[in-house]
Structure formats: structure tokens, C-alpha cells
Chains A and B, each alone.
Chain A
Amino acid sequence: MAKRETSARQTEIDLVPDAPLYEQVRDRLSQMVLARDLSDSTPLATEPNLMELFGVSRGTLRRAIEELVRDGLLSAEQGRGTFVVQEERVRRVVWQRLSEVARPDSRFDLDLNQYVPDFAGSNLAHKRVMKRTEWKNADVVFCAPDNSIEQLRLAALEAGKKILVPTYGLRRGFILLDGTKIQKTDHALAATLDGMERFGKRLGPGDLRQAGTIDLVVTGATAVTTDGRHIGGGQRYLALEWMMMKQLGVLSSDALVFAVVHDCQVVDEMVEAEPDCLLDLICTNTEEIDVWEPRDSAPSKLRRIK
């Protein structure tokens, strides 16, 4: 049996003897990363420094880092060091905050990795959307299948709009619902993921044009930045949906993107994160952040996506 590393050595961080050392190092490292300042894009401390900090061997440290790389939180770059994947870090920081105000999903409960939750106060954010003339004038609205905008989907149906909603995970195409063709008493059900397929028409990518011209895109998010980047779950469904709609010409040329989020999901400008798509307006439970202006001065990479 190999000689067991001990934390009896004088180190700065105490590890307990009853769990595998690399797991403890992994968890502590993860906590350190999440506690960093959001704008901090410097690499992690060097290997020797981290070995000293935790009082572990190179092998143990590397194993811990490898796990976090596989997990998406860190990226190891040959010769440059180990970096934090900002986007993933933002997700995790926001999920921690969001769990305080999130409403459980009917299937995923509070496993925020799986879905975008509704939150306490979402009705206030919805009101901000509904006050906008772009909302009032939109005939066809693309609505993400996020729980945080279920009540907006309902409002759209009640206002006689058409809404285009992807099925969860885009696995079974899009559903097109027409508020004028669904009975009033069915609107609440039609606005849910459980109910929408009973009242809408299923459209595959090839049929998307039947939706008409989309004037407005409304989405929830895992996080948004104050300069208008949308950060979804790791799967980037919105980016994919956006691209499909764009290529098929169903998005009107001046289509706008509104995000509905809780305050705790808004983060300040962040380096290196690639947005799913660019936002024009962020509506939260307490404020409205108009990000039209910054878009003009956004880096070219961002404009291209838009």
C-alpha cells in the first residue's frame, strides 16, 4: 500500500482524513474559484503553490484539477496555466443565488442544471415586458420553454398573439400556438410545457416558415450580463434556435430579444464568455435594463452573432 499523504504537515488548508484527498482538494478548489471576483481572469496559482496550499502531492492536485476540467469549470492550457471558465463559473454562482428564489419544476424540482426556473417576483418582470410597445405590437413572439416566462406565454395567448415555443431540449421540434384559436379556458394549460402540445401545431425545422415573421424573442436565462449577453444552460439551445430562425428567414430584420430574469441573475460585464445571443432588453423583478446602446459598441464578434 502506498504511503498515505497526511495533512499533518503544516498547511494553510485543513483536510479531513475520512474522504479521498483529491475530492477534498477538488471541492475546496471549486469553492475558491466560485468566490473569486467576477472580473478576475488571471490563471490559478501555479502547481507548486497549490500543492503547498493544500499540502498534497502533485498527483493528488492534478487529479483534482482534471476533475474540474472535465466538469467544465477549469481549462488547462499547455504552458500557460490553469484558467477558470468564466461562463461556467457565472452559471454556478448564479445557480447558488437563484436557488433562494427559484420555484421548483414539476419534474426537475430544483435541479437548476436541467431547466430555467420561475422565480419569486417574476410577475413584476413580466409587467415590464408587457408595457413595451414592441410587445404590444408583436403578432408573433418566439417564447423559450423556460418556466420563468410561462405567465408571459399565457399573456401572449390572452392577447391573441401567436407564440412559437421549442419543445424542451428541442427534441420534438417547435410548437406554434395561436391565441385566437385556443379557447380562453384552455389558455393557462396551453402556456405550460405539459399542455402546449395539445393546442399547438408541431413544426419541424422545415416548417418553421409557417410561423410567419417573428417580431420579438422572449427568453429566460441562467444569467445575463449588463452589456446584454444571454447565458443559457451549457447546451446553448437559444443560440441554436436563433440560428435556425435566422437562416430560415422567420426572424424579422429588426426583431428584438427580451430577457426575463431575477435580479440575482444579472452579472456585470464579463470577459471571454460567448453569448447564446445578444439581448436588447433585460426585465427583472425590480428594473429594466435597456442594452440597445452598448450593442453598437460591442466587439465585432458579438455583432456578428446578432
Chain B
Amino acid sequence: MSGVLSTDQYREQIWAELAKVARPDSRFHWDFSSFICDFIGSEKCSDRVLELDALKNRGNRQIFITPDNCLEDLRYKLIQRGIPFVMTTYGIVRGFYRLDPTTIPVSDHHYAATLDGFDRYAVAMPLAELQKGEKFALLVTGGSAVSNNGVRFGKGHGYFDFEWAVLSELGLTDSSSVVADVVHDCQFVNEVMPAEKHDVVVDWVVTPTQAMHIDQSSRQSGRVFWELVPGTEFEHLGIVAELRAIQNLGPF
């Protein structure tokens, strides 16, 4: 790690830049520590994601998207194209949901792409149900910051790491699963950062101006580090209880 700035210093610098292009949240306004914001130009990011081979050549495999505001336009475009996807609710509180665009009237495509509208059309997927489905071809997340070796950092990135870990434990990811991180250019840090064992390094950093591929062929498959869970925001999630039941681990 070259370590010019600490991650906290990067985060402050990035948030100052991001504030200039960010779109406020309907509940959290400008409080970036509570959500991953949308930004000017995110539409260009979704167009780039739609061009990724992992999406175009997905076959029967599934798509996963995080409930980040910068991915609303991508959700809208997937709905328009009739491509179903799986998403978690905010904070993973209610677990995984699947949205099937064929159930949505055209007039509600935009509506269903928002967090407020998603609930109206998406169907809850208990882990046992999710596990019966195909593996994931592409997982898309937003992020507060990402390094040039594909390490995400900054507040809020832990949720996707956990989602990846859970999906992996269920056997729904493999070496051909591709992870894309949608960020504004100002959220990209051209530096190598060290990854923690639970960090998911990303294959693509997609910004309004470019899509950068990062070779992650040596990425280990994800797993839940149970010893790290107690005391975190994940401990009492429904999916934690579900996964522990599936794995015969018993409650914490």
C-alpha cells in the first residue's frame, strides 16, 4: 500500500467532491453515512453495465443488485428490458427479494425501480427458496470509494460484502461470477489498497466516463466469517438465522 492518505482522509476528500454531484435521498437527504447516493451521470454507468459480457451472456444465470440509489436507473433499464433481478431491502433488514418485470405494468417501470416502489412488485425470497435458483452471473453494487485493485472502502460497503458471502455460502456464486462497482469518478482512488479477508474485490469499476476491468482471477470464493458477526448490524438479521438453520449451526 502506498498510503498517501489514510482511508478516513480519502473518505472526507471523496465526500466533499461527491457532494457536488450527489443526489439527496428522500429520507436521509445529504447524510452520506446512511446511504449510497445517486450522482449526476449514473445513467451513463447503467449503460456501461448493460454492455458487460457477464450480463449479455448470462444465459439462465441471475443478476443481483444492491438497493443503492446510484443503481436505480440500472434497475429501471433492466425492468424495461424484461430482465429479472434479485435485490436486498435497505440494510438487508428483510432479506432478499426478486423482481420479475413481467408482473409490472409499463406505467410503473420507473416506480418499481425506486426503493419505495420496489416493495409493491418484488417477491420475498427466503434463502431456502433462493438457493434453488441459478447461480449469479453478475452482481452490481454502489460504493463509497474503490481502489485501483478493486478494494471497496468507506462506510456502508460492508453490506455488499455480507450479501456476497451469504450468496456464496448458498453456492450461488462461482469463479465466473462477475462483480461490478458503480461509482462516480471522484469515488475512484488510483491506488492499491489492502483487502481484508471479508472484502469482496470487484472485477469492474464503472463510472460515468469509463469501465475499468481489474483481474480478480485469484479471488477466493466468499464465505461468512461467523466469528466476526456477533456485535455487528448483521447479527440479528433474518437471513443470518436462516443461513445458520440451513447450515445446522443453531442460533447465536
Contacts and interface: CB of A to CB of B under 8 A. Distances in A.
Contacts of A189: 108, 110-111, 114, 117
Select the residue from B26, B89, B118 with max chain A CB neighbours within 10 A.
B26
Nearest to B34: A107
Contacts of B94: 104, 109
Contacts of A193: 26-27, 116
Given A109-B89, A109-B94, A192 B114 contact: yes
A109 B91 contact: yes
A195 B111 contact: yes
Given A185-B106, A189-B110, A194-B114, A104 B119 contact: yes
Contacts of A194: 26, 114-117
Contacts of A127: none
Contact of A172 (B29, B107, B108, B117): B29
A148 to B, nearest CB: 13
Nearest to B93: A109
Nearest to B26: A193
A184 B106 CA distance: 12
Contacts of A104: 89, 93-94, 119
B27 A168 contact: yes
B110 A107 contact: no
Interface string A178-214: 0000001110110011111100000000000000000
Contact of B117 (A103, A167, A185, A188): A188
B111 A106 contact: no
A168 B89 CA distance: 20
A108 interface: yes
B90 A195 contact: no
B111 A192 contact: yes
B24 interface: yes
Contact of A192 (B29, B90, B93, B117): B117
Nearest to A192: B116
Given A168-B26, A168-B27, A106 B116 contact: yes
Contact of A107 (B90, B106, B111, B117): B90
A70 interface: no
A86 B25 CA distance: 34
A108 B26 contact: no
A171 interface: yes
B7 to A, nearest CB: 26
B28 A107 contact: yes
Contact of B89 (A103, A106, A184, A197): A106
B90 A109 contact: yes
A115 to B, nearest CB: 8
A128 B117 CA distance: 24
A107 B118 CA distance: 12
A188 B90 contact: no
B140 to A, nearest CB: 19
B74 to A, nearest CB: 15
Interface of B: 24-29, 35, 89-91, 93-94, 106-108, 110-111, 114-119
Interface of A: 103-109, 115, 150, 167-169, 171-172, 184-186, 188-189, 192-197
27 contacts: A103-B119, A104-B119, A105-B27, A106-B114, A106-B115, A106-B118, A108-B27, A109-B91, A109-B93, A115-B27, A168-B26, A169-B29, A171-B29, A184-B107, A186-B110, A189-B108, A192-B26, A192-B116, A193-B27, A193-B116, A194-B26, A194-B115, A194-B116, A195-B110, A195-B117, A196-B26, A197-B26
Of all A-B residue pairs in the complex, the 6 with the closest CB atoms, nearest first, are A106-B115, A194-B114, A192-B116, A193-B26, A185-B107, A194-B116
Given A167-B26, A172-B29, 8 more contacts: A104-B93, A106-B89, A106-B119, A107-B25, A109-B93, A185-B107, A189-B117, A195-B116
